[in-house]
């Protein structure tokens, strides 16, 4: 049973279908992704949100709307690559008001939804946001990251899939500069990645961006790191990165930052 806003979202997405199977597949993929991210956000918010129903509501709404502009992006540019089209976080945030997707909320809740959506695809959540904006912004990012992993692992299982490793050398060697960034538990910039091994190993440090214990629990329960293992290059560095990442999602790494 969909909520009113969910139904409105599903109907909106439906207006982009053309009947052309390849095109509609992309629309349907984003729609399904959105609904999964919303469900994940609901779970994390329920577990982490205490008795503050308002901020849970904001987190769930922001998750539903985080990719609102993806349909338009694909129709206009035939790509989900922001560099070749527009910043889909910024555009989704603007669309919320154009389409009235948060008009039923209080001013404060509305603003928190817009901020979370705008920030979901940026490098990081800036420090110093008011708590009512910080909480949903971090939840949407966690939920989005969690949902991308199975898609990624699926792609890796198809060695001929060029889209995901486009232009990267198929060697099992880590580029030294990339290894150095990963050792600091930071994400290399996409342009720094030179090999498929770089690309896969870079997924290991994603865990340090998870903001909530519940997000780590979902990672564990879905065995994401274990599933990544067969695609990782062998070697001392990667073994250490894997061990650290596993300890982190198990909750025994260094203490998490206060969200
Ligand atoms: Fe997104």
- pLDDT 10s digits, 51-82: 999 999 999 999 999 999 999 999 999 999 99
Rounded distance from Cα 239 to ligand 1 centre (Å): 30
Rounded distance from Cα 234 to ligand 1 centre (Å): 32
Q: What is the band of 251 on the pLDDT scale with cuts at 50, 70, 90? A: confident
Rounded distance from Cα 89 to ligand 1 centre (Å): 6
Rounded distance from Cα 65 to ligand 1 centre (Å): 9
pLDDT score recorded for residue 196: 85
Provide mean pLDDT across the span 159-180.
77
Rounded distance from Cα 173 to ligand 1 centre (Å): 30
Examine the pLDDT at 259 and tell me if it is beyond 50.
no
Rounded distance from Cα 170 to ligand 1 centre (Å): 28
Rounded distance from Cα 32 to ligand 1 centre (Å): 13
Provide mean pLDDT across the span 118-125.
94
Helices (H), the chain: 4-14, 21-48, 53-65, 70-77, 88-98, 107-119, 131-156, 176-183, 196-204, 213-221, 224-228, 236-249
How far apart, in whole angstroms, are the C-alpha atoms of residue 69 and residue 90?
9
Rounded distance from Cα 34 to ligand 1 centre (Å): 9
Rounded distance from Cα 237 to ligand 1 centre (Å): 31
pTM: 0.89
Rounded distance from Cα 194 to ligand 1 centre (Å): 24
3-state secondary structure 178-208: HHHHHHCCCCCCHHHCCEHHHHHHHHHHHHH
Domains of the chain in sequence order: 1-143 (1.10.3210.10), 157-259 (no CATH)
Rounded distance from Cα 23 to ligand 1 centre (Å): 19
Examine the pLDDT at 88 and tell me if it is beyond 90.
yes
């Amino acid at each position: 049973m969909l909520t009113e806003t969910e139904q409105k979202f599903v109907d909106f997405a439906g207006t982009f279908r053309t009947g052309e199977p390849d095109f509609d597949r992309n629309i349907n993929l984003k729609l399904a992704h959105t609904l999964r991210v919303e469900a994940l956000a609901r779970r994390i918010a329920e577990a982490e949100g205490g008795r503050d129903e308002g901020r849970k509501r904001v987190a769930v709404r922001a998750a539903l709307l985080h990719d609102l502009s993806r349909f338009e992006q694909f129709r206009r540019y035939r790509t989900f690559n922001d560099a070749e089209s527009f910043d889909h976080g910024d555009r989704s945030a603007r669309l919320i008001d154009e389409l009235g997707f948060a008009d039923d909320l209080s001013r404060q809740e509305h603003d928190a939804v817009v901020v979370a959506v705008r920030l979901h695809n940026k490098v990081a959540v800036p420090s110093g946001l008011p708590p009512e904006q910080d909480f949903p912004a971090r939840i949407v990012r966690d939920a989005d990251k969690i949902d991308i992993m199975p898609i990624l692992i699926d792609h890796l299982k198809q060695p001929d899939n060029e889209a995901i490793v486009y232009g990267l050398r198929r060697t099992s060697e880590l580029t030294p500069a990339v290894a150095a960034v990963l050792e600091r538990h930071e994400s290399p910039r996409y342009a720094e990645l030179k090999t498929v091994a770089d690309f896969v190993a870079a997924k290991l440090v994603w865990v340090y961006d998870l903001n909530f214990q519940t997000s780590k629990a979902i990672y564990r329960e879905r065995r994401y790191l274990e599933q990544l293992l067969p695609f990782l290059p062998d070697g001392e560095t990667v073994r250490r990165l894997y061990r650290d990442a596993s300890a982190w999602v198990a909750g025994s790494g260094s203490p998490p930052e206060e969200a």
